[in-house]
Homo-oligomer: A and B are copies of this chain.
């Protein structure tokens, strides 16, 4: 077995930096593939492939417009990720405190040497 399929898994889909860029770009509005590729400095096939993944997990939708195909954001799939990480909200402060206390202890110990 290897890694879980990137398709049908939003977590994996957004783990790719270039796909993140695409999503961010699409916040500014729909884009045709070539346009998007140009703005992000990637080749057209590359853009198409990433868009395919994003489409398959439902993060983007496409519609035909003449000979172009416009891709638009459908961010609903990001909500579960937001909520999942949100489940750790109280921990990332707490962890901070603990680390802080730990650092204090270290200082203390060092002075007592």
Contacts and interface: CB of A to CB of B under 8 A. Distances in A.
A16 interface: yes
Given A74-B99, A95-B74, A82 B85 contact: yes
A14 B92 CA distance: 15
Interface residues of A, number: 33
Interface in A77-93: 78-79, 81-82, 84-89, 91-92
Given A23-B88, A76-B95, 15 more contacts: A3-B3, A4-B16, A20-B84, A27-B87, A75-B95, A76-B92, A78-B85, A78-B92, A79-B85, A79-B92, A81-B81, A81-B85, A82-B86, A82-B88, A85-B85
Interface of A: 3-4, 9, 11-12, 14-17, 20, 23-24, 27, 73-76, 78-79, 81-82, 84-89, 91-92, 94-96, 99
